[in-house]
Structure 1
Amino acid sequence: MKGFSQCFLLACSTTGAVLADSIDFNSQIKSLLSNRCIACHGPDEEHREAGLRLDTFEGATRDLDGYSAIVPGNPEESEILFRVTLEKGDSELMPPKGRGERLSEEEVALLREWIRQGAKFDKHWSYKPLVREEVPQSVHPVDHFIERRLAEEGLALSPMADRRTLARRVSLDLIGLPPTPEDLNAFLADKSPNAYGNYVDRLMAGPEFGEHWARMWLDLARYADSAGYADDRPRTIWAYRDYVIRAFNDNLPFDQFSIEQLAGDLLPEPTESQLVATAFHRNTQTNNEGGTNDEEFRNVAVVDRVNTTFATWMGTTMACAQCHTHKYDPITHHEYFQVFDVFNQTEDADRRDESPVLELKDQSVLQLRDSLGKQMEAQEERIAELEKNAVNHPVETKRREGELKTRYVRVTNLVKQGFLHLAEVEIFAKGENLARSGKASQISTGFDGPAHLAIDGNADGNYQSKSVTHTAKADDPWLEIDLGSAKKIDRIVVHNRTDGGTAGRIKEFQIVALNENKEPNWVRRIKQTPNPSYEVSLPLRFENFSKEEKEAVARYQTDAAPNELTLARKKLEGLKKRFSGIRGPTVPIFRERAKDKRRNTFVHLRGSYLSHGDQVHAGFPSSLFDAPQAADSPNRLDFARWIMDPKNPLTPRVTANRFWEKIFGIGLVATSEEFGSQGELPSHPHLLDWLATEMIAGKWNVKAFIKLLVTSQTYRQSSHVTDGMAADDPLNRLLGRGPRVRLSAEMVRDQALAVSGLLSSKMYGAPVNPPQPDMGLKAAFGGGIDWKTSRGEDRYRRGIYTTWRRSNPYPSMVAFDAPNREVCTVRRGTTNTPLQALVTMNDPVYVEASQALARRMMTSGGSPEEWIARGFEICLSRNPEPSESDRLIRLFEEVRGKYLKDPKLAEKMATDPIGPAPEGRAIEDLAALTVAGNLLLNLDEMLMKR
């Protein structure tokens, strides 16, 4: 047979393959080809070896000069079987050396039988339309599918968990907190048939529900309170976190929730909440380090938005197509940048100011603005009344009669930070310029000098030649000319210079004529100054003044002396300053660029934004979901609707699987981040499709969907593992027992605070800094990581409100596998390390929680036995076994004896950092019980959902 160049990628063995009557391509063959062949013989045409494509029927059966890789119905003539069965060391053996292990005998037999049966290809399972199987009404839909699969394996569901265990399990799942003893006892006392369902409803109705479920979504949204990269400066975006919490509490339909986050700004007349929702994609990192290129990191952010969107809603590793056509899934390099174009048209651009931002209508800010607005209105009315009285009752009656005589003339430039030049003022009496003989000793900037220098009469000269002739830059610059004695003057001329250093300086100014006592005779305010000069003439009598001139004189006079009107104006200015300084909290949002400012989008060759290929326009990958585009040039709103289209099979499958994973600890598709060829097959495909269609039929009702899961018998089983279960189904993929899962980082901390009685119920608002060990760390590049611990109840708020800094996340949460959120996290890993025990035993939060728990335990009875029993009830929702009680009492007595010998150590253990011991409690008892309480917080049962 003729050969062909070929390379096969690393692969996972298909073990235990059993030849069936009919070989199913998706469940038996596709993973084998994907793991062994498709990397070199798949969709990526640029890197395809030997021109052979094995992910399609057409490519695999194509004539290659007299032979084909696969000849349907004829294994012996199929080149692929010849190559995979060659002797070890043969140069044509596939996979080649260094590319993975050769196929096992079972895999070869499976491949041979599939070819013999006709080598039928099929569309990838997750891209196929949803199929809803009918379920008998007499059985819970989830149990119908699970029991059927267990029966096929000769297994059955486990017995129901006891009510105490179930109450704790579902409470942890729905609100992230254990039940209080009061809630637990109320549930246990309820003997009605709907007791459990009512308990579930009460839990989902509480505000804690949204606080718990939002955490999952914030991982996807890569939410953080810092901008990332080396500088990692703080970012104000907590309003988005609050939006997510409210959305879960309000049971916002998931399709609406999704569209608002992707394109809320493009909805008709978007609400503030819908604009805040678009911060989902403003959680991308911003690089503010000196010397970086904003356009480079803007492109990085757009790439992240493409990848995050497909990971979150469609379980697709879109990043694989960023540099070339996807090697495993049918997504081309060109299609990647069609989606890139969808996100390439927003206004944000890696700017330090995070623009565009939305100022929120914070209730407290609105109330303060309203209050100040009313105060300003009242003050303006008061000033108007005082000014009216000043005009109607001139201060000096002698100024009402006869000719006006002036000694001082003051000119004030009303433009902030302007220049004023003494040569710009001329004062005439009967044709003589009196200003040149006057004195110019009073200037706002403190310059001094004789009038013949100050007043040069040159309207076109260079002001820089004589320093005493100008005021330089200052707020409200003014000059005053002293004529030596009171003189009758006819007119004043103010020149507006036009040389390069002074052009446009005088745009608005005021002229005041004052008598020998520096009392105003006349005031004129000029709104616009002609070029080059402005000339005004003084009226001869006060009674000839216009109404505006009389008011100006009155205002100036009251400005000159601290009387009631002056004080009223100062108060108004203070109110205005306060009002202008009030700003509500802000949040970065999406805003689409105008149509005439759209960016051109090109394919980035090898992923480099500097290397442009063909120009592309917005579009969506038809291989994932082929639906007609809503417009010739679709935008983000069209894209969001394409994702949430009820006919799109990926989104509901991915979403249903994600909620299942959150409840059961592992998804029906274990690789919840990957629904493509490299992902695992669903353990229960018919159940997954039924759940996906149920979500759509239920109009994306999240709470109803979660209740459906937790009310199943599958969920309510005992999680006890028998030897047989451990052997037959170690990972519980068949779901023959209840979930048994380690709590998330936030839950571990929140639970400790809850059982100790310290947990604050305060919701929403700016992030907080709970206590953490003082590690004396310094960030690289001069960035500060100082952690100023919050005071009061902010120390004890739920983990979702903790400041999330990407470069330095809260240490105790990192120990329990919390991500740094630099990128989208679909599924957190779970580790077990000694570091976790060090946290729960020694971290200041857990030490204080242990102290508070001890005090709470001592409120029940007066004996160690009663205290220990109370601790079990609070922490584990059950009574202790006799052996457990005995061991804890022995521990209590042992450490109590040590503290009796060392009162200072006892006091430290019982009161640092929580504070003084309650009156009437022996310090050694309190210290010993703190140790016992800490042990309870560290029990495996405490850190697990069972």
Structure 2
Amino acid sequence: MQQMTPSLKSTPFSVASMCHFLCRWSLSALLLFASLHQAHANPESDAEKTTTANADVTFNRDIRSLLSSRCFACHGPDEESREAGLRLDQADGDEGAIGLAIEPGSIEDSELWSRITSDDESMLMPPPDSHLKPFSKQEQQLIRRWIESGADYEAYWAFTPPTQPKTPEVQNQGKPWSDQTIDRFVLQKLVAQGETPAREADARTLIRRVTFDLTGLPPTREEIRQFSAAYADAPETAWEELIDDLISRPQYGEHWARHWLDLVRFADTNGMHKDFYRNHVAYRDWVIRAFNDNLRYDDFTRYQIAGDLYPNPTKDQLIASGFHRLHLIIDRGTALPEESHVKNVIDRVTAVGTAFMGLTVQCAQCHDHKFDPITQKDFFSLYAFFNNIDAAPETNPKIMSDGLQEPIARWPTAKQATDLKRFDKKLADANAKLSKIEIAIAAQREKESDAGKQEIIGDALSKQSQELTLLIKEQGTLQKRMAALNRERRAVERNVEKAMVMKERDTPRETFVLIRGQYDAPGKTVPRNVPGFLPPLKKASEVASRMDLAEWFVAPENPLTARVAVNRFWLSFFGVGLIKTAEDFGNQGEVPSHPELLDELAVSFVESGWDIKALVKRIAMTKTYRQASNTSPERFKADPENRLLARGPRYRLDAEVIRDQILATSGLISTKMHGPSVKPPQPDGLWKAVSMTDERFQPDTGDSIYRRSVYTFWKRAMPPPQMTILNAPFRDACIARRERTNTPSQALLLLNESEYLRAARHLAQLALERSEDERLAFAWETVTAKLPDANEQQIMLDLLDDLQEDYLADPKLTDELCRGTALTTPEAKSELAAWTVICNTLYNLDITKTKD
């Protein structure tokens, strides 16, 4: 972790002071951490199945995933890899399972049963040399019960349009729990499992939780006080008013945009080879505005897939079409253009498949999908929609000084438009004049040549030479003038708002199935179309367009779009989706924990007019969301990922939220929105280590370094370490859900990051402005939204006394922590140094890093 140690030259104090403090940290501080640590923090582990022993076995819920993980690779949709002429992914047909491998009602007559339970390794399925995990005894019994009950195959749930389920009538231990539809579905599952909901969390926990979830920022002390008082008088009214207020704030859009930017692999560089700057700021700012303006999700989808194809596209529609320009792109001359083109289009198909379909469509680019009914033809039929872009397939840095590459849309101001028009007129006039001069020069040279041949000498030849010299001089003067005009024009052009967009070629490019996915091995031609197992595409003309595709995505009969969207929003609140595999709704994905609830949310979302803020509010208003997160060790062990939703959500905050929280609570955060990406300080040399152009990181200064993390410059080859150490993705691929790990480097980052230490000192200075008996409560409440109890206060005050003694005894160390302040006396410096470490301690508490 040495690279994270800030330089003494670049920080107001040295990390040596922090190391010194850690070495001499008192036992009381360690006890504080232990007393505040929540032993029930959720690890990232696979959820255990919650099917009760007496529940009916169903194919979709219990059997499909077992067969998919062990059998479909050889007995599934991929015709080329299919073994023994058997498909276990479907019941009927020439190769269907029923009659060939399964005899409904009889395990004795079912080859599947004998193969998965065989003691003979030559007969056992899956074969031992496949390195697949054999069926466990419990899994075998599930398959046995399914066969004996009739071996009913079901249409795959995710590929069937959702319908509105009947809201259950259910009570919590004989008493009403909630009249909200979502809560009733949750309670129905809990009751079926013999469980009960947790109590409701206290007011302070609730406001902290929902403020993080809706804005990505913590509540202020004043907001906590006001809400707590209002909640005590009228909890439901106070809760709804709080949610309405948070949703209306501009920070709402900044927070929700960040989730989408993960999904669409947004970054500020190309991500390949020399990783040049690529300006996608307009797209990022549009996403923020779209969430704040509550753009309908169906339009949010249309704009990104086909915004450029509207009859008279608006600025927002054009910017949104830049979704198709966010892929990685290689430099010119690094690969063959044909290969680069294919990679770019495949990336677009992959992004659409992940973001809007929740499927791994890219698995079918070389062969039929081994687990889902997506053929290679299906893949390249989708590919055909994105194969007609009028753009170069590679970066040309010589014409990309502003990080943009055609096609580009431009929106100059009135003055800029006038200035550009004036420059264009001057350049056109100059160019016309230059052409005339060049013609005159050529003619004059020809005259001189003719004169030389006729041996004309004297005044006539001298006059011709003088005229040629004057013409050449005039040419040079005009060329310099044109160069100056071009420089002035480029200066205006650089400040014009612009964005990389999608644009169709006039003549559609033919699309082929690429044999084995190779760019130089075209097979049969394919038309634009959607996968055959999904509802058919409706075309507005003979040749389908991306607009037809966009309308297909948001059509009522499409089974995926709404489900994928609501599951992703649910994941953002609870840390895990109703379908854990938010990126994969296919056969390899997990089954929904609450299938009827998922369908209810999807249908209601569409019926609401695809209203995102209404969906967000609906989830936040539930009793399910308001449960306390603590539980007994036994209940936690039985359901570590909280798939039953028997308690409130608790998990480590994302990297950006942790950073923004520190900036906000310290009083340093900048509220400036939109605009160019910014570069907060980071260890020197990281960019150079991955650069092929000797590029060095140059941090910004002033308020820019305190802007929210959504505006942080994202270099794909070396993303900000403050983010990636805490599991932010590199943004080189579409990520629908982040992993959460627990590593020593994360603790070292939060303890030693120079800007976090600076924030701790700023908070310490704010605390010292208060009376002595208010300081600890002020800092504690500011950071945690809680008030310290008597034991916590005593531990912290004892630690404070120890620290002040240490810093009084070590003036050099104290001066490092206080560098840049106006303090002069040893007493004042040691007090600030001690409080800085106290505030840094608060920033490293478990509760500070965790949504509770």
TM class by shorter chain equals 0.7 to 0.9
Q: 1:123 to 1:628 in 2, by over 3 A?
A: farther
* Conserved? CA contact 1:17–1:107, under 8 Å: no
**Gap runs ≥5 in structure 1:** 1-11, 380-410, 427-432, 441-449, 456-467, 479-507, 510-569
Question: Do the aligned residues in 1 keep the contact of 2:420 with 2:492 (CA within 8 Å)?
Answer: no
| 1:538-590 deviation per Cα after TM superposition (whole angstroms, max 9, x unaligned) | xxxxxxxxxxxxxxxxxxxxxxxxxxxxxxxx9x9999974564111432110
Q: 1:683 to 1:931 in 2, by over 3 A?
A: same
Partner of 1:588: 500
1:232-311 matched pairs, under 5 angstroms:
232-288=275-331, 290-311=333-354
- 1:42 equivalenced with 2:76 (yes/no): yes
Q: Identify the residue that residue 217 of structure 2 maps to in structure 1.
A: 177
Corresponding residue for residue 488 of structure 1: none
Aligned to 1:937: 843
Query: Any idea what the Cα deviations from partners look like across 1:694-734, whole Å, max 9, x if unmatched?
Result: 10011111111000011111111111122232133222111
Q: C-alpha distance in 1, partners of 2:261/2:97?
A: 51
**Partner in structure 1 of residue 208 of structure 2:** 168
Q: Which amino acid aligns with 1:76?
A: E
Residue 375 of structure 1, CA deviation: 13
Inter-CA distance 898–580: structure 2 relative to 1 (3 Å threshold): closer
1:847 partnered with 2:757? yes
**Equivalent residue letter for 1:213:** W
The alignment partner of 1:782 has SS state of: coil
| Structure 2 CA distance for aligned equivalents of residues 585 and 21 of structure 1 | 60
Aligned to 1:361: 411
Query: Separation in 1 of the partners of 2:312 and 2:602?
Result: 31
Distance 1:165 1:920 in 2: 39
> What secondary structure does 2:92 align onto?
helix
| SS in structure 2 of the partner of residue 713 of structure 1 | coil
Tell me which residue corresponds to 2:791: 883
Residue deviations 1:354-394 (CA, integer Å, cap 9, x gap): 542434436xx5456668999999x9xxxxxxxxxxxxxxx
Q: Is the 2:318–2:409 Cα contact (8 Å) retained in structure 1?
A: no
The alpha-carbon deviation at position 634 of structure 1 amounts to 1.1
Q: What's 2:100 paired with?
A: 68
Question: Secondary structure at 1:57's aligned position in 2?
Answer: coil
Cross-structure match for 2:767: 857
Say if 1:474 and 1:107 are closer, same or farther in 2 by CA, change over 3 A: farther
Q: Distance in 1 between matches of 2:624 and 2:50?
A: 27
**How far apart, CA to CA, are the structure 1 residues paired with 2:843 and 2:833?**
15
Q: Assess, with a 3 A threshold, how the Cα gap between structure 1 residues 874 and 475 changes in structure 2: closer, same or farther.
A: farther
Contact 2:685 2:697 in 1 (8 A): no
Partner of 2:459: 438
Report deviation, 1:475. 5.7
Q: How many residues align?
A: 774
8 A Cα contact 2:811 2:826, kept in partner: no
Structure 2 residue ranges without an equivalent (≥5): 1-45, 170-177, 397-403, 427-432, 449-453
Shift of 1:58: 1.5
Q: TM-score, normalised by structure 1?
A: 0.77
Report the AA paired with residue 746 of structure 2: Q
Distance 1:923 1:155 in 2: 56
1:406 corresponds in structure 2 to none
Corresponding residue of 1:123: 155
Please tell me the root mean square deviation across aligned C-alpha atoms, in Å. 3.3
1:794 aligns with 2:704: yes
Deviations 1:519-549 (A, max 9, x none): xxxxxxxxxxxxxxxxxxxxxxxxxxxxxxx
Q: Residue 598 of structure 1 aligns with which residue? A: 508
Q: Taking structure 1 as reference, are residues 60 and 20 closer, same or farther at Cα in structure 2, changes over 3 Å only? A: farther
Conserved 8 A contact 1:750-1:798: yes
Q: Is the contact made by 2:332 and 2:394 (CA closer than 8 Å) also made in structure 1?
A: no
CA distance in 2: counterparts of 1:300 and 1:376, whole angstroms: 37
Question: What SS class does the counterpart of residue 512 from structure 2 fall into?
Answer: strand
Change (3 A) 1:727 1:425: closer
Q: Tell me which residue corresponds to 1:549.
A: none
1:865-907 Cα shifts (integer Å, max 9, x gaps): 4211110121111211122222222222212122223333212
With a CA cutoff of 8 Å and minimum separation of 6, indicate the structure with the bigger relative contact order: 2
The 1-side partners of 2:703 and 2:80 are apart by 59
Match of 2:630 in 1: 720
Residue of structure 2 equivalent to 1:689: 599
Q: Deviations over 1:161-205 (max 9, x none)?
A: 111111111000000000111222222232345111111111111
Displacement of 1:111 in angstroms is 2.6
The residue that corresponds to 2:42 in the other structure is none
Please state how far the C-alpha of 1:273 moved relative to its aligned partner: 1.1
Q: Secondary structure at the match of 2:741?
A: coil
SS for the counterpart of 2:601 is helix
Residue from 811, 832, 838 that aligns with 1:926? 832
Any idea what the Cα deviations from partners look like across 1:23-65, whole Å, max 9, x if unmatched?
311112212211221110111011111111111112587599x
Closer/same/farther in 2, CA of residues 14 and 938 from structure 1, 3 Å limit: closer
Change (3 A) 1:371 1:655: same
**Which one-letter code corresponds to 2:459 in the other structure?**
G
Identity score, percent: 38
1:683-832 to 2 correspondences below 5 Å: 683-775=593-685, 778-780=688-690, 782-832=692-742
Deviation at 1:87, TM superposition (A): 1.8
Q: Report which of the two structures shows the higher radius of gyration computed on alpha carbons.
A: 1
Which residue in 1 is equivalent to 2:172?
A: none
Q: Could you say what secondary structure the match of 2:624 adopts?
A: helix
The answer to whether the Cα contact below 8 Å between 2:679 and 2:699 also exists between their aligned partners in 1 is yes
1:414 and 1:476 in contact (8 A); partners too: no
CA shift digits 1:722-753 (9 cap, x unpaired): 22321332221111111102111111111110
Deviations 1:262-302 (A, max 9, x none): 10001121001110001111001111153422221121011
Structure 1 residue 313, shift from structure 2 partner: 1.1
Rate the CA distance shift 1:890–1:72 in 2: closer, same or farther, 3 A.
same
Note closer, same or farther for the CA distance 1:19–1:856 as it changes in structure 2 (3 Å cut): closer
User: Matches of residues 77-116 of structure 1 in structure 2 within 5 Å?
Assistant: 77-89=109-121, 91-99=122-130, 100-116=132-148
Change (3 A) 1:474 1:651: farther
Cα distance in 1 for partners of 2:50, 2:644 equals 17
Which structure shows the bigger proportion of residues in helix conformation? Answer: 2
CA deviations over 1:397-434 (Å, ceiling 9, x no partner): xxxxxxxxxxxxxx9985479845655679xxxxxx9x
Q: Evaluate the alpha carbon distance shift between residue 851 and residue 360 of structure 1 in structure 2; reply closer, same or farther with a 3 A threshold.
A: farther
* Contact 2:265–2:327 under 8 Å retained in 1: yes
Could you tell me how far apart the structure 1 residues matched to 2:510 and 2:311 are? 26
Alpha-carbon distance change, 59 to 84 in structure 1, aligned in 2, over 3 angstroms: farther
**1-side partners of 2:743 and 2:439: how far apart?**
63
Q: 1:203 aligns with which of 229, 246, 253?
A: 246
2:445 and 2:468 in contact (8 A); partners too = yes
| Matched residue type, 1:31 | S
For 1:588 and 1:425, locate their aligned partners in 2 and report how far apart those are by CA, in whole Å.
51
User: Match for residue 491 of structure 1?
Assistant: none
1:139 aligned to 161, 179, 182, which one? 179
2:65 to 26, 31, 35: 31
1:221 alignment partner, one of 264, 270, 273: 264
Match of 1:911, SS state, is coil
1:801 CA drift (Å): 0.5
Partner of residue 906, structure 1: 814
How many angstroms apart in 1 are the aligned matches of 2:244 and 2:382?
A: 41
Distance (Å, rounded) in 1 between the aligned partners of 2:50 and 2:785: 44
Tell me which amino acid in the other structure corresponds to 1:758: L
Q: CA shift at 1:839, angstroms?
A: 1.2
Distance 1:916 1:244, change over 3 A: farther
Please identify which structure carries the higher strand content: 1
TM-score normalised by length of structure 2: 0.85
Q: CA deviation at 1:820?
A: 0.9
Instruction: Provide the C-alpha distance between the structure 1 equivalents of 2:667 and 2:364, rounded to a whole number of angstroms.
Output: 51
Residue matched to 1:515: none
